Chains A and B, each alone.
Chain A
């Protein structure tokens, strides 16, 4: 029962992530394509003739936009390597456009790639460092253990966001989007090693004293063999649980940093820097669709919360 639920939740989350990895196919426009004639266009109104959807031409009327009923543009599916698109000069903005006339829907998809990838990779970095340090500290004990534990206490006495900002503050501010991406992954992941390291150390400490581990050691098994064969399997559960907690936290961290102007910069979209445009409320009043990247984060966070809960239920049932 819990197993089925676990699989269902994981499949849903996986599908969302999969969407985020193919924006070139799913998004009707590129992330930097500007439609200078249509700034702040509202979300498209799709009409139907039978089963065939179409949109009317878009024309500026006063401060807003109206439909030009004399032109119809049918929506094509699976043509030109796109999931859906309309022929020029028609335009299709499923979630409206921003101040430069860029399609918000496309940018949310491209932004998802950045934001979700940062979360995933940074969690990988955190868990990697945490796993190595935690295992070393727990398995070796002694001076290594002391050093790791004291170091983790230091990191714990700095509020997480401040630590993140402080480290970011002391690195170059104006850099290209690719460097910024890897920098973010490094910082967010590197700063977050403490929690997984402490948890894994605890697991390793208890696993190390199990009778069969002692027996294997008695037979002359080497440290690396013991860790790989007997200790590692014990840490999977905690690692997975930690991943479900860390990934959403890190997605939000990327959004926060980019929002504050310390992450991915224009024109490459991330959910954070898209929201920072929405923050200027002269832009936001009357254009609520600029909040789309923030709303898009909600189902993903919900997915991870559900995953964490079901995983906990599944593990306690076992």
Chain B
């Protein structure tokens, strides 16, 4: 219980620090949303000043930070000047799309990585070398290139829709065919993401399994004649879980941030395109909201991993 409280406090402090840091960065920005207007001769300087005053840009820094932090705690994340609406509903809409994409890709990557990693760890010689070479190939192909090539294939063959999340006119379809439509759009971007995550995961699963296999208890269990399958799944896998839980926490934590580039290339309406558009429009509120959200996810992912490890690994509990 004390451990839980301490970790929660730590996470909260980190979040507060991150909010200060990002808000501080945003203060370094030369100019603001209205800078473009100021050079426009058609708009009187007084009008711009009045607008800036209304948006609160002329108040001192601590006051603005307090106002912003308050709105974050209330859950509306400030006001987007470019969209002319509170940030929260804008972000919420995109959040679902990003979670759907990154979540399914992460799930697929883990589903593939665990058996591949275990199989890889138990093999020697050419099979081991082959899988490792394949993973190295996947590792060095940049996501960006892969995304563009798959998009090109989709356009040329017509097997998959070329970007986006739904076909035109899909809104009028019944629920099931709409879901199938989204699923078809999901295939390519999720494949790119899965391929990007897979090599790292396989490498870690393999390393964790190898370490467990080299430990004395594994040798003793083998000497006692425990069958291979049972040894692997019942004895070695739980022992190898420790580094994997941390990695799993990282996977959860990067759910919002891993897919940015793929979303932009494939036109998936997630947080990535929203962030890039907001940067181009100097819409600070949205940039801050998206960065804060992704950071929250990362911190929560690490927290979840820590707590999970605390449950799973008695050694940590004893140390307190």
Give the chain A neighbours of B15 by CB distance below 8 A: 157
B65-85: CB near A (< 8 Å → 1, else 0) gives 000000000000000000000
User: In the bound complex, do residue A281 and residue B142 qualify as a contact, i.e. CB atoms below 8 Å apart?
Assistant: no
Given contacts A159-B298, A165-B275, A165-B279, contact A279 B265 (CB under 8 A): yes
Indicate whether B28 reaches chain A with its CB closer than 8 angstroms.
Answer: yes
Give the chain A neighbours of B28 by CB distance below 8 A: 170-171
Given contacts A172-B30, A252-B142, contact A157 B295 (CB under 8 A): yes
Write the nearest CB–CB distance from B13 to chain A, whole angstroms.
9
Indicate whether A256 reaches chain B with its CB closer than 8 angstroms.
Answer: yes
Indicate whether B148 reaches chain A with its CB closer than 8 angstroms.
Answer: yes
Closest residue of chain B to A156, judged by CB? B298
User: In the bound complex, do residue B260 and residue A275 qualify as a contact, i.e. CB atoms below 8 Å apart?
Assistant: no
Indicate whether B151 reaches chain A with its CB closer than 8 angstroms.
Answer: yes
User: In the bound complex, do residue A261 and residue B18 qualify as a contact, i.e. CB atoms below 8 Å apart?
Assistant: no
User: In the bound complex, do residue A158 and residue B140 qualify as a contact, i.e. CB atoms below 8 Å apart?
Assistant: no
Please measure, in the bound complex, the distance between the C-alpha atom of A279 and the C-alpha atom of B294, giving whole angstroms.
Answer: 26
Give the chain B neighbours of A8 by CB distance below 8 A: none
A159-200: CB near B (< 8 Å → 1, else 0) gives 111110111111111000000000000000000000000000
18 A–B pairs (Cβ distance < 8 Å), ordered by A: A153-B17, A154-B14, A154-B21, A157-B14, A158-B22, A159-B256, A159-B257, A161-B260, A163-B291, A166-B287, A166-B291, A170-B28, A252-B142, A284-B152, A291-B145, A294-B148, A297-B145, A298-B141
User: In the bound complex, do residue B29 and residue A171 qualify as a contact, i.e. CB atoms below 8 Å apart?
Assistant: yes
Interface set of A (CB-CB < 8 Å, partner B): 150, 153-154, 157-163, 165-173, 252, 255-256, 259-262, 275, 278-279, 281, 284-285, 288, 291, 294-295, 297-298, 301-302, 305
Assuming A153-B14, A284-B152, A288-B152, what are 15 further A-B pairs, CB within 8 angstroms? A154-B18, A158-B22, A159-B256, A159-B258, A162-B294, A162-B295, A166-B22, A169-B278, A171-B28, A260-B261, A262-B276, A279-B148, A281-B151, A291-B152, A301-B142
Please measure, in the bound complex, the distance between the C-alpha atom of A162 and the C-alpha atom of B253, giving whole angstroms.
Answer: 13
Please measure, in the bound complex, the distance between the C-alpha atom of A275 and the C-alpha atom of B143, giving whole angstroms.
Answer: 12
Give the chain B neighbours of A275 by CB distance below 8 A: 144-145, 148
User: In the bound complex, do residue B260 and residue A162 qualify as a contact, i.e. CB atoms below 8 Å apart?
Assistant: yes
Write the nearest CB–CB distance from B223 to chain A, whole angstroms.
29
Indicate whether B165 reaches chain A with its CB closer than 8 angstroms.
Answer: no
**The residue from A166, A262, A278, A302 contacting B148, defined by CB atoms under 8 A apart:** A278
User: In the bound complex, do residue A281 and residue B162 qualify as a contact, i.e. CB atoms below 8 Å apart?
Assistant: yes
Closest residue of chain B to A306, judged by CB? B136
Indicate whether B215 reaches chain A with its CB closer than 8 angstroms.
Answer: no
Please measure, in the bound complex, the distance between the C-alpha atom of A131 and the C-alpha atom of B276, giving whole angstroms.
Answer: 33
Write the nearest CB–CB distance from B255 to chain A, whole angstroms.
10
User: In the bound complex, do residue A305 and residue B264 qualify as a contact, i.e. CB atoms below 8 Å apart?
Assistant: no
Please measure, in the bound complex, the distance between the C-alpha atom of A173 and the C-alpha atom of B282, giving whole angstroms.
Answer: 9
Please measure, in the bound complex, the distance between the C-alpha atom of A172 and the C-alpha atom of B280, giving whole angstroms.
Answer: 10
Give the chain B neighbours of A285 by CB distance below 8 A: 152, 155-156
Please measure, in the bound complex, the distance between the C-alpha atom of A167 and the C-alpha atom of B288, giving whole angstroms.
Answer: 11
Give the chain B neighbours of A295 by CB distance below 8 A: 145
Give the chain A neighbours of B190 by CB distance below 8 A: none
Q: Is the interface of A mostly helix, strand, loop or mixed?
A: helix
Give the chain A neighbours of B139 by CB distance below 8 A: 305
Please measure, in the bound complex, the distance between the C-alpha atom of A295 and the C-alpha atom of B140, giving whole angstroms.
Answer: 11
Give the chain B neighbours of A262 by CB distance below 8 A: 276, 279
User: In the bound complex, do residue B299 and residue A170 qualify as a contact, i.e. CB atoms below 8 Å apart?
Assistant: no
B1-33 contacts to A, CB under 8 A, are 14-15, 17-18, 21-22, 25-26, 28-30
Give the chain A neighbours of B290 by CB distance below 8 A: 162
User: In the bound complex, do residue B287 and residue A169 qualify as a contact, i.e. CB atoms below 8 Å apart?
Assistant: yes
Closest residue of chain A to B31, judged by CB? A172
Give the chain B neighbours of A153 by CB distance below 8 A: 14, 17
Please measure, in the bound complex, the distance between the C-alpha atom of A267 and the C-alpha atom of B284, giving whole angstroms.
Answer: 29
Write the nearest CB–CB distance from B204 to chain A, whole angstroms.
16
Give the chain A neighbours of B140 by CB distance below 8 A: 298, 301-302, 305
**The residue from A159, A162, A172, A281 contacting B152, defined by CB atoms under 8 A apart:** A281
Closest residue of chain A to B140, judged by CB? A301
Give the chain B neighbours of A159 by CB distance below 8 A: 253-254, 256-258, 294-295, 298
Indicate whether B149 reaches chain A with its CB closer than 8 angstroms.
Answer: yes
Please measure, in the bound complex, the distance between the C-alpha atom of A24 and the C-alpha atom of B282, giving whole angstroms.
Answer: 38
User: In the bound complex, do residue B256 and residue A284 qualify as a contact, i.e. CB atoms below 8 Å apart?
Assistant: no
